Amino acid sequence: MQTTTQAAVETTGAEPLVEAAGPGRLISLDVFRGLTVMAMILVNNPGSWGHIYAPLEHARWHGCTPTDLIFPFFLFIVGVSIVYALDSVRRDVSRHPQLLTRIARRAAVLFGLGLFSALFPSFVFETVRIPGVLARIAVVFLVCGTVFVKTGWRTQAWLLGGILVLYNVLLQVVPVPDFGPANLEPATNLGAWLDRLLLGENHLWKSSKTWDPEGLLSTLPAIGTGLLGMLVGQWLRLRNMEPAVKVAWLFVAGGAAVVLGMIWNGWFPINKSLWTSSYVLYTGGIAAATLAALYWLCDVHGYRAWTKPFLVYGVNAITVFFLSGLVPRLLQMIKIPAAGGEPVGLRTWLYDTLFVPYFSPVNASLAGAIVCVLIWLGVLWVMYYRRIIIKV
């Protein structure tokens, strides 16, 4: 079995902080990753999808709620992690083929996990959703990792800008076949048309059927989010600059990105499902400022006593995200007789028995989600102290 650190590099693309920080490590990055995955599990596991506080829901279309920050935060973290995992070894050109093979293999495993999760438990290939969260992470990791190995930060910055401008032109200038002028409506925008053309309606998000929030075209600007994280990671890796200066300029850059995103929102609205260019800048700016604050607290000043729950989540992030999607479905397969005599899934029975009688509908739903986060925290805590980090 690999050591904890070796396994973690394979899993997340960055070394975790199992104990005290070593040279070149960022406690703040693991804390940020753990906080983000905690939030993912909270919003993905309400007791009832019909009773959710508004901040814990996605915006219906245009706009951005706190929940809409979670996925771009994770892709931003992927970009930063790539820098910390590969920066020291990419300088040896002879190792590039090995690095690119590792990147491709890891991306393939992530994509495979996403496909398995979409198929489970029925395994009906005719209607499996091909796009998804893990699939998008895989593509972003593959492209950004390859770009990082082969290019410098200036090329990456130009590529980021080019992607954002190109995507804006594609969605607001290029006519949509069969529908006419370019538009940003859910079922008739260029990305939705492309998804139906290349994937077919049977392989898209079942809640919409005609478009997918993790579709093909919107993965292009999602790569931009990863590139933004890479640029921030390289900024933090600079050795000839005081930490206070790094933090100050990162706050300035993050604030500028937020302002630019809000300005761009005037004609290309902030929208998670479309992953618009304004959304990339807005969420990326908030992510940069958040990482700057955590870096200042955890890595510069050493305020770490409060970080352990987030580190526990952060070092097994992909594992807990994957399992947290499968376990509820497994529980639902176990049938329990309900009060009316009809059998219900074990998860539903537990929620109806332990939460519904004691809270208002929306608070019962929130309590169920919080308990889910705490249960996984307990599982991950055991894994953490046994130095178990599952290789992906």
* Sequential DSSP letters for 39-74: HHHHHH--S-TTS--GGGS--SSSB--GGGGHHHHH
Backbone angles phi, psi at 69, to 5 degrees: -85, -20
Pairwise CA distance, residues 257 & 254, whole Å: 5
| pLDDT attached to residue 24 | 55
Q: What is the pLDDT of residue 20?
A: 34
The dihedral of CA 74, 80, 84, 86: what is its sign? positive
Per-residue pLDDT tens listing for the chain (392 residues): 333 333 333 434 433 333 333 445 789 999 999 999 999 999 999 999 999 999 999 999 999 999 999 999 999 999 999 999 999 899 889 999 999 999 999 999 999 999 999 999 989 999 999 999 999 999 999 999 999 999 999 999 999 999 999 999 999 999 999 999 999 999 999 999 999 999 999 999 988 889 999 999 999 999 999 999 999 999 999 988 999 999 999 999 999 999 999 999 999 999 999 999 999 999 999 999 999 999 999 999 999 999 999 999 999 999 999 999 999 999 999 998 877 778 999 999 999 999 999 999 999 999 999 999 999 999 999 999 999 988 77
> CA 213 to CA 275: how far, in whole Å?
8
Query: CB of 135 within 8 A of CB of 97?
Result: no
Q: What is the pLDDT of residue 391?
A: 76
pLDDT at 337: 85
Count of alpha carbons within 13 angstroms of residue 163, beta-carbon side: 26
Pairing mode, strands 335-337 and 343-345: antiparallel
Whether the Cβ atoms of residue 295 and residue 236 lie closer than 8 Å to each other:
yes
The whole-model pTM stands at 0.92
Beta bridge partners of 344: 336
